[in-house]
Amino acid sequence: MKSTITSLVTSYHHTRLGHIIHDISNDTRKVSSTTFMNVVKQAIDGLPWQKVPNRNNLSTGEWRALKELSENKKITIKQADKGGLVVVQNTDDYQAEVTRQLFDRANYRVLKSNPTAQIINLIKNTVLTALNEGIISEKICQFLCTKFPTIPFFYTSPKVHKGLFPPPGRPIVAGTDSVFQPLAIFIDQYLQPLVPKVKSFIKDTKDFLLKIRDLQLPSGAILATLDVNSLYTSIPHNEGLRAIRQHLVESTTSAKLVDFVLDLLEIVLKKNYFRYGTIFYEQSKGTAMGANMAPSYANLYMSSFENIHIWSNHFWRKCLPGLDILMTVSSFGLGVSWSYKNLVCS
């Protein structure tokens, strides 16, 4: 504490404050840390601070250009899906991609009205039941019930690594401060610790290299990468719920808590709604990218999928959303095998 405050004082060259701290810190055994901090704060408040005027880091011309860009309705500026790039698109192209995705009736359906009030009541009843049964505390109950939620909204993040003219968009539902965010945070507390325990878990590139370092590859083994197309938005709700139940039951979680977590997960998945423009939509399958528990949910679902369909192969390692595998099959066999697996959830 002493060194931190002293260095702060030294940087501002306030001799008077330095003397105060020196006098107090020489006898710190006789005063509590709270008293010490209060005295220092009082001394700081009494010092004649010199106000430094704010300076713009942009020139007048740059500010004018920024204002013109932000007000130009003919272009849409978004951050790229990967790489941190800034993408400038024709607004017509951006809206055409959004419309293409939202018109997919297998994934989205139009709602007649704003469902927020009904969902708030559903969450409230579910949470109060858990509170009355002693599953959760009053504090958690208050956390899960959002009184003044925002409405989730839909946008796409341009995938310029997939194409440029125009780039396809990754669908994102921004649910910050929505009715679903507290539920997703709560759910992820139970799902996230299970992810590192799955058979095919890989933390990062370094972890993958360590795992394959000592592998003795048989003759004919090939290295390949696979990508699950639109994984987050393609997981069937009921299959996803069954997979999560299996993972939770296999953990030490109590039966009542498992049921409660699944009740909340079902709300997040099956009641997931958002607004685009003035129209409200509901997502018919999969989980919204942007939901706090989405990565854990997708990982655990894929783990259950692998246990059923994959582990007969020689080696298999996964890192969402791409898949890195080592398999003792021919190139032809790999293609046929994965084509079959594409049919499992179709």
Q: Give the model confidence (pLDDT) of 271-305 as tens digits.
A: 999 999 899 999 888 888 878 888 899 989 888 88
Q: Read off the pLDDT band of 242 (50, 70, 90).
A: very high
Per-residue pLDDT at 10: 47
Q: Read off the pLDDT band of 218 (50, 70, 90).
A: confident
CB neighbour list of residue 221: distance below 8 Å, 6 or more residues apart? 314, 315, 326, 327, 328
Q: Is the pLDDT of residue 311 over 70?
A: no
Q: Is the pLDDT of residue 19 over 70?
A: no
Calculate the alpha carbon distances from 248 to 1, 131, 186, 187 in Å. Answer: 44, 20, 14, 11
Of the candidates 163, 175, 152, 155, which has an alpha carbon nearest to the alpha carbon of residue 99? 155
Per-residue pLDDT at 120: 94
Q: For 156-167, give the DSSP string.
A: EEE-TTT-SSSP
Q: Note the Cα 33 to chain centre separation in Å.
A: 39
Per-residue pLDDT at 110: 93
Q: Is the pLDDT of residue 3 over 80?
A: no
85 or 318: whose pLDDT is higher? 85
117 or 84: whose pLDDT is higher? 117
Range picked from 27-41, 52-66, 143-157 for highest mean pLDDT: 143-157
Q: Give the model confidence (pLDDT) of 87-119 as tens digits.
A: 888 899 989 999 998 998 888 899 999 999 999
Q: Read off the pLDDT band of 329 (50, 70, 90).
A: very low
Q: Render the burial of 111-141: b for 16+ CB within 10 Å, e for the rest.
A: eeeebbeebbeebbebbeebbeeebbeeeeb
- Give yes or no for a contact between 317 and 202, defined as CB atoms under 8 angstroms apart: yes
- Please tell me the distance from the alpha carbon of residue 234 to that of residue 211, in angstroms, as a whole number: 29
Report cis status (omega within 30 of 0) of the bond before 321. Answer: yes
Calculate the alpha carbon distances from 233 to 22, 101, 266 in Å. Answer: 62, 11, 15
Per-residue pLDDT at 258: 92
Per-residue pLDDT at 29: 52
Q: Read off the pLDDT band of 321 (50, 70, 90).
A: very low
Per-residue pLDDT at 183: 93
Per-residue pLDDT at 303: 86
Q: Read off the pLDDT band of 84 (50, 70, 90).
A: confident
Per-residue pLDDT at 184: 93
Mean pLDDT, the chain, whole residue set: 79
- How many Cα atoms within 13 Å fall on the side-chain side of residue 120? 14
Angle between helix 237-250 and 294-309 (nearest 10): 90
Q: Give the model confidence (pLDDT) of 117-131 as tens digits.
A: 999 999 999 999 999
- Give yes or no for a contact between 314 and 138, defined as CB atoms under 8 angstroms apart: no
Per-residue pLDDT at 331: 47
Per-residue pLDDT at 346: 46
